[in-house]
Structure formats: structure tokens, C-alpha cells
Amino acid sequence: MTAPTDTKAPVTATNFLRNAIERDLEANTYAGRHWGGSPGDAAHHAAGPLDPAKIRTRFPPEPNGYLHIGHAKSICLNFGLARDYAGVCHMRFDDTNPEKEEQEYVDAILDAVRWLGFNWEQNGASYLFYASDYFDFMYRAAETLIERGHAYIDEQNAEAMRATRGTLTEPGTNSPWRDRPAEESLRLFREMRAGKHAEGSMILRAKIDMASPNINMRDPAIYRIRFAEHHNTGNTWCIYPMYTFAHPIEDALEQITHSICTLEFEDQRPFYDWVLERLAEAGLLAHPLPHQYEFARLNLTYIVTSKRKLKQLVDEKHIEGWNDPRMPTLAGMRRRGYTPESLQMLAERTGASKSNSWIDYSVLEGCLREDLEGKAPRAMAVLDPLKLKLTNWDEVIGAGRVEACVAPAHPHHPEFGERRFNLTPEIWIEREDFEEIPPKGFRRLYPPQAGQAGNMARLKYGYVIECTGCEKDAAGNITAALARIVPDTKSGTPGSDSVKVKGVITWVSATQGIATEVRLYDRLFTEAQPDAGERNFLDALNPNSKRIITAWVEPGLANAQAEQKFQFERHGYFVADRVDSRAGEPIFNLAVGLKDSWAK
């Protein structure tokens, strides 16, 4: 006998991060921490009460571009863990680099995180922080390291520093400035800060071990001279901390417990710990210190996620901006019709692992289909219209009359209500639903063939019709299909199924439907790994990633609200574009087809 499965077990799969947090909670690793009410040093936090947050995580983007699907994974992970373990997740802008950072990006990032469904405000407190607010502390930390013999000013030029760094197999060699007196380094560091030295003329380095097998521990740089204006601190500073020095300090000032980053930072963990330990020894920080964990970044096929490359696509106008519906940015995906729930689903399904892998783009599309299936009301739309004339209208329905049709808004959710539209003597059908000479097995409309009547099919929510022929222009192109209504077959009326047909046809009234712009999007790249190896990713751009058509849709869709999603029956999921739609004139974007058209 097998044990009954616990159906109430949380759906969230466990992973090494959850395990680590659960171990820490059990061991009370962080239970004695205090929280000073805002980020700060050891003394600041010691003066506050016990930290009510069981754990603290953070999402720390650099405001130098728009967030993409990879960031969504990190957001879901960090905010999700804090939510699940009675913690707090900090929203932190890692803005220690004076270049490339702009307010536009800050705003777009906050917007995207909120849209994804997460919030940095809790019980009236805001946990939105800017790393540049910690410059004073970082400077003080650097002076402390110098005073305690853990850092020195190196006057070698960049080339000499590179040459003495060693390789993976050979140790580096000490700088001639390595053993200069601490007072001298301190004086020079202060002069650096005062703007007395040129960019590149000297640098502050940690004094660790030039023979360390980990190259990151060979006296890494921690402060450099940059005469650059900073978006937050203006011209206050002309020296800026290196990322690898700044990051552990940011975490510690914010009392982060679990600092989660991507695998590339694994080799940086020893330096992360080194910085924090040295500052704790000096009393600037207190134990328990934050701990860094690395997980595999999300790699999705058929997209690029490097912000530099995304920016290049925007700057060189290969697409129409950061929020182009083909972009893997959250702004673009939102416009494309992706829902927060579908992205959360992707994050959940791809889990947190320690080894890099590629996730197929179709997994993402599958998440969206799954989310929209139960949520999106249905509608009929004709994307490639051919006119169909119902030639016996006057006899069956009556001249000048229309036939009211009713359809459920969703086949499995009666509570979504009903759609109402009229069948009229002329309607639009998909061009592919009529064949003058039908291929074998064709079930939709074709005219009488040798010795055989025209085929019958059902107009969805309407009558069974029998195809009688077609009209052509002088050049022989088919301009309209012709059919007769089979009386007494109206969907939903008694006896309507007495005539059996194999094909069902979607349609829109030619006189009452509305013509609307539809943007058919496809993958932006034709290669699964557009930026693999030495390849120029631009060579893999899909020239057919956007096609604009005029489609005919049910009259009710004139009222579609921006961002409202529909399943266009038999075609796929479409969303009313949130940027270009006008009141009463929606424009629809193809979010995802009903089936994976790329699968072999």
C-alpha cells in the first residue's frame, strides 16, 4: 500500500534556497538581529528593536535599462521567498556606477516590479533603497580598511596591474606600493577624494593575497577615480566604489540575510565574505552577516537578455522601443499580452538550480496559454477575410432582417456571460475555409464537384450552410463564396443537429463587424541562441517578426479596454494594445497562438 498523497502540500517546489532558509530559521541563525528602522551600520541597528522580519532578501537592479524576463525570475524568487518565510524583500537600486543610469529606467523598473505583483511597502514602511545613499559609509569603510592594514593605494597603471595579476595557473606578483605605510595610503585616498589626482593615476586595492588560487582575491580594486556626475549625488564624489566592494556593504547595511545572485558571482563570494568580516572586526558591522547564494540565471531560447544588446536593439531601431511587444522586457511582454501570473508560473516551473541550462521559449508561451485559457473571453475574428454571400437569405430569414446569435463568453465559465451578435446576408469567413477544388479530406466549404453536392458546414453559433459556388473577378480571383442556409438548423434550436456536418466555420458579419488593426508578432530571432559564440546576434533577427493586417472582429470588441485579452476562436490569444488603442478603436496584438507553431 502506498501512502496517501497529501493534496494540501504547497505547490511550491522546494529548492536549495528554501532549504537554506529553513535551516537558518530552525537554527535561529538570524533571530537575534536588530533592525534600526532604516539601513545603517552596527550601532544604528543595535539601537533598534529585534528585527520583526524573519529573513531579508533584496532585488538589486542597476538602473541602466529596462527589466527583462530574467529579472522577473529574480524578482519572483526574492520577493517570493520573503513572502513565504515572513520576511521582507528590499527593492534596491544598485546605482553606484555614475554612468548610464537614468530616471527613466528607475521609473520603468518600479513600474515593472509592481506590475509583476510585488510590493516593497509593508505595514506602512517602505523598503525602497538606493545604494548611492551609502557612499558615505562605503568611504568610511574604505578608510577603515586602510587604517587596519587591509587596503593600499596602488600607483601602478592599469597595464602593469593586469600584467602582475598572474593567471589561473600562475600566482600574481605584489605591487611595489603594496607595503607603503597606511598613513601614506590614507593621505593619498583623501587626496583622491578631494579631486587632486587624475583618473587612472591610482586606485585603492584590498590587501589580500596575490598568490590566491582565486584571482578575485588577488588584491582586488575597491575604489577608483571617476570625474563623473552621478544622478543622485551629483558632483559630490569623484571616486566611486567597485561593484564587488559596494555590494556586500549594501547587503550588510540593509541587514539582508540571504543575498541571492546568479552563478557568475560564485567566485566573488570569498571576497564578499572578506569585506564583511574585516568590517565586522572593526566594529562597523555586526554578526550575523549576510550570506551570498548563487543560482543559475534564466536562459530562454530565441531571445537575448543582455541589457547592452537590448539597448542596441532600441538605439539602432531594430524594434520600436523598450516596450515593443517583441522585446523580452517586462514592458514589452506586458504589451504583448503576457500576464503577471504567466511570468510567475514560469519562474516557479523553472525553479532555482545550481546549474545553467536553457529553457525553451515554448515553455514561456505554454505558461501564458495556460493562464489565459480560463481567463480570456472568447470572440470571433477573421484574419484573412473572404466574403461569403448567403443566397437564400430572403426566403429563409426574410428580406431586410438579421438573425440574432448568442454565444457564451467562455465555454466553461457561464458566469462570464454571453456575447450577442447578428448573422447577416453577407459575412466574412477565413479565406482558407473555402476551396474551389478541395484537397482530400477537406471538411469546410467547397462547391458542387462532379456528381456531388456542395459541402455543408456549420457557421459557428448560426446555421448549417451548403456551399453552392463562388464569384470571381476578370482575372479569375475568387472574390466571394456562395452558400445556401439549410433551414431549421440554427444552433441552440430544437432539431438543429438533425443535419450532421464535419466542419465548423468562424465568421463575422460583413455589415456589423468591425475592421480593426491586428499586429501579428512572431519570435524576434530565428536562432535558438542568437548570441551564442562569436555570432553577431543581429544576423539572427527574424525579418518577419511583425506583420500588420486588417481583421474583422465581432462588433462587441469595439468596447475592448486596453490590455483586455481575448481568445480569438481557433486563432489564439490577443490583447488590446495598451499604447496605440483608442476608445472604440482597439488595436490587437497577437500574444500567443493556440498551439505551438514552432514545434516540429
Which grid cell sits at 315?
A: 538605439
Closer Cβ to ligand ATP, 347 or 510, answer by number: 347
User: Do 58 and 251 form a contact (C-beta atoms < 8 A)?
Assistant: yes
Contacts to Mg ion from residues 46-85, by CB under 5 A: 62
Closer Cβ to ligand ATP, 300 or 592, answer by number: 300
580 contact partners, CB below 8 Å, separation of at least 6: 587
Among ligand ATP, Mg ion, none, partner that 145 touches (CB below 5 to 8 angstroms by kind):
none
Select from 23-31, 82-90, 301-309, 551-559 the region that touches ligand ATP (CB under 6 A): 301-309
Using CA atoms, how far apart are residues 582 and 588, in angstroms rounded to an integer?
A: 11
The single residue among 193, 278, 307, 334 that binds ligand ATP, judged by CB under 6 A, is: 307
Characterize 65-81 residue by residue with b for buried, 16 or more Cβ atoms within 10 angstroms of its Cβ, and e for exposed.
Answer: bbbbbbbbbbbbbbbbb
Site string for ligand ATP, 484-503 (x = CB under 6 A): --------------------
Using CA atoms, how far apart are residues 504 and 461, in angstroms rounded to an integer?
A: 9
Decide: residue 457, CB within 10 A, 0-12 exposed, 13-18 middle, 19+ buried.
buried
Length of the chain: 600
Among ligand ATP, Mg ion, none, partner that 586 touches (CB below 5 to 8 angstroms by kind):
none
Of 33, 193, 207, 307, catalytic = 307
For residue 546, the minimal CB distance to ligand ATP (Å) is 24
Contacts to ligand ATP from residues 68-107, by CB under 6 A: 70-71, 73-74
Please tell me whether residue 269 binds ligand ATP under the rule CB under 6 A. no
The single residue among 18, 62, 422, 478 that binds ligand ATP, judged by CB under 6 A, is: 62
User: Do 519 and 587 form a contact (C-beta atoms < 8 A)?
Assistant: yes
Please tell me whether residue 306 binds ligand ATP under the rule CB under 6 A. yes
* Contacts by residues 178-181 (CB-CB < 8 Å, ≥ 24 positions apart): 178/152, 178/154, 178/207, 178/210, 178/219, 179/152, 180/152, 180/153
Q: Which ranges constitute the DSSP H helices of 282-433?
A: 307-315, 330-336, 340-350, 361-373, 393-396
Please tell me whether residue 174 binds ligand ATP under the rule CB under 6 A. no
Closer Cβ to ligand ATP, 105 or 568, answer by number: 105
Characterize 270-305 residue by residue with b for buried, 16 or more Cβ atoms within 10 angstroms of its Cβ, and e for exposed.
Answer: ebbebbbebbbebebbbeebbbbbbbbbbebbbbbb
Phi, psi of 50 (to 5 degrees): -55, 140
Among Mg ion, ligand ATP, none, partner that 45 touches (CB below 5 to 8 angstroms by kind):
none
For residue 261, the minimal CB distance to Mg ion (Å) is 10
CA distances from 155 to 160, 167, 192, 205, 570 (A): 10, 21, 12, 10, 69
The identity of residue 473, as a single letter, is D
Select from 205-213, 298-306, 440-448, 533-541 the region that touches ligand ATP (CB under 6 A): 298-306
The single residue among 119, 262, 496, 512 that binds ligand ATP, judged by CB under 6 A, is: 262
Question: Considering all CA atoms of the chain, what is the largest pairwise distance in Å, rounded to the nearest integer?
Answer: 106
Which grid cell sits at 86?
A: 515572513
Residue 49's CB is within 10 A of a number of other CB atoms, namely: 10
For residue 557, the minimal CB distance to ligand ATP (Å) is 36
Known catalytic membership, residue 191: no
Closer Cβ to ligand ATP, 259 or 509, answer by number: 259
Closer Cβ to Mg ion, 97 or 506, answer by number: 97
Cell 558591522: give the residue: 285
Among ligand ATP, Mg ion, none, partner that 564 touches (CB below 5 to 8 angstroms by kind):
none
Known catalytic membership, residue 62: yes
Known catalytic membership, residue 297: yes
Strand 88-93 to strand 128-130: parallel, antiparallel, or no bridges (unpaired)?
parallel
Coil vs helix vs strand at 114: helix
Closer Cβ to ligand ATP, 271 or 588, answer by number: 271
For residue 139, the minimal CB distance to ligand ATP (Å) is 22
Closer Cβ to ligand ATP, 307 or 419, answer by number: 307
The single residue among 15, 212, 305, 392 that binds ligand ATP, judged by CB under 6 A, is: 305
For residue 278, the minimal CB distance to ligand ATP (Å) is 24
Closer Cβ to ligand ATP, 70 or 447, answer by number: 70
Binding site for Mg ion (CB under 5 A): 62
Positions marked catalytic: 62, 297, 307
Binding site for ligand ATP (CB under 6 A): 60-62, 70-71, 73-74, 261-262, 297-298, 305-307
